[in-house]
Amino acid sequence: MRSLRGKLLPPVVAIVFSALLCSVALIISGSNPAKALAVMVVQVGRDTTLVDIVNSASVYYLVGIAVAIGFKMNLFNIGVEGQYRIGAALAAIVGGQLNMPPVIGQIVIILTAMVGGAAYAALPAILKVTRGVSEVITTIMLNAIAGGIIALLIKQGAFGVLNNNNISTKPIPSSNWIPGISFGSAGTVFGLVLLAILVGVGYWVLLNRTRFGFELQASGESPTAATAGGVDAKRMIVIAMLVSGAIAGLTALPEVLGRDHAYTLISPQGYGFTGIAVALLGRNNPGGIAFGALLWAFLDQSAVSLDVIQVPREIVTIMQGAIVLSVVVSYEVIRRLELAAEQRRVGLQLAAATTGSAS
């Protein structure tokens, strides 16, 4: 998967394929696919749609990176869902309870979210290395438990306050918010979009330029070769889970610090699962995940616009599912073709070299 073609072809094939699939679904349900597509494209320029897409994408990006770190190590951290919610709730509680000076406050809140997410990921990591329990099982169960823990934390009498009809954490004082970047009537981009970009760059550097990233990739590709090469598999599992959890903890912060200023019982859920799809779409590559996050956010927004012209919004869900499936399939197909081509190329070059030297 070294060539540009190998990188770009699969997502293009996947998107075209899923667009075709959705067109069929639309025709069957009696709508006009061309009209639906036009609406999806046109909406981007209207009102705050573009900014909304970028804002959603920043959230999806953070959670996608969190999942990708696990994937790189062959760990399926389904628990990012629970980890980000715990991280966000703890961060909002700390931000609301302590009246901290600016800058320091923001830093403390961000670190709290990371520590919270990492701590919640520590449990499955420890269970896996000491008892061999699959992280898939433990993290799924911990997702369910996370909801209960949060409800306990933010109930009235604990850290919660009643706000209209909704229970939430104490609001974070405005000195500890992170201001957005305003584009006037086009909306305001979360300030923490920059954090997402920073995390993406950090992820690339970590993977490709550090010893830790090397060991992570080696363990993910071949645990046996990594062990023979002196990589401590258990240590890598624990660290990878903790880092994944820490990044997961950041997920909801753009919203908490930039829009909601509190964590409520009805704060959004399900980003963890979106993150899995986005990481799959982006093939764990920082650039690819950015693309996947933007695409996902764009499709989410489309659901609203399609509703307006009476196209069933479920078509977006179909499209998202079809894209993920076809990306996974087309990457695998193209990976195999590329490897065969590579072997052929090496063979040809060597054959040319041998005949050259022999004659």
The token pair at 181 is 């970047």
As a whole number of angstroms, the distance between CA 30 and CA 199 comes to 44
Pick 93 or 231: Cβ nearer another protein: 231
Q: Which runs of consecutive H residues, i.e. helices, occur in 253-313?
A: 253-255, 271-281, 286-308
As a whole number of angstroms, the distance between CA 124 and CA 241 comes to 8
**Closest residue by Cα to residue 98 from 159, 146, 180:** 159
DSSP per position, 30-58: T--HHHHHHHHHHHTTSTTHHHHHHHHHH
Which of 232, 307, 314, 332 touches another protein (CB under 8 A)?
232
147 binds another protein (CB under 8 A): no
3-state secondary structure (DSSP) of residue 264: strand
285 binds another protein (CB under 8 A): no
340 binds another protein (CB under 8 A): yes
The token pair at 41 is 């494209």
229 binds another protein (CB under 8 A): yes
Tell me the HSE value of 26 on the side-chain side, using a 13 A CA sphere: 22
Pick 126 or 206: Cβ nearer another protein: 206
Kindly state the number of chain residues that form the binding site for another protein, as judged by CB under 8 A. 35
Pick 45 or 132: Cβ nearer another protein: 132
224 binds another protein (CB under 8 A): yes
End-to-end CA distance of the chain: 35
347 binds another protein (CB under 8 A): yes
Pick 210 or 317: Cβ nearer another protein: 210
333 binds another protein (CB under 8 A): no
Minimum Å gap between C-beta 229 and another protein is 4
Pick 30 or 230: Cβ nearer another protein: 230
Residues of this chain, 182-221, that bind another protein according to CB under 8 A? 208-215, 217-218, 221
Which of 166, 175, 227, 317 touches another protein (CB under 8 A)?
227
Pick 101 or 347: Cβ nearer another protein: 347
Minimum Å gap between C-beta 224 and another protein is 5
Minimum Å gap between C-beta 315 and another protein is 37
Minimum Å gap between C-beta 213 and another protein is 8
339 binds another protein (CB under 8 A): yes
As a whole number of angstroms, the distance between CA 170 and CA 154 comes to 9
As a whole number of angstroms, the distance between CA 56 and CA 9 comes to 26
Non-local CB neighbours of 49 within 8 Å, separated by 6+ positions: 43, 301, 305
346 binds another protein (CB under 8 A): yes
Q: Is 319 left (phi over 0), alpha (psi -120 to 50) or beta?
A: alpha
CB under 8 A: which stretch of 51-59, 69-77, 224-232, 256-264 binds another protein?
A: 224-232
* Maximum C-alpha span of the chain: 89
Write out the residues near another protein by the rule CB under 8 A. 2, 208-215, 217-218, 221-222, 224-232, 339-350, 353
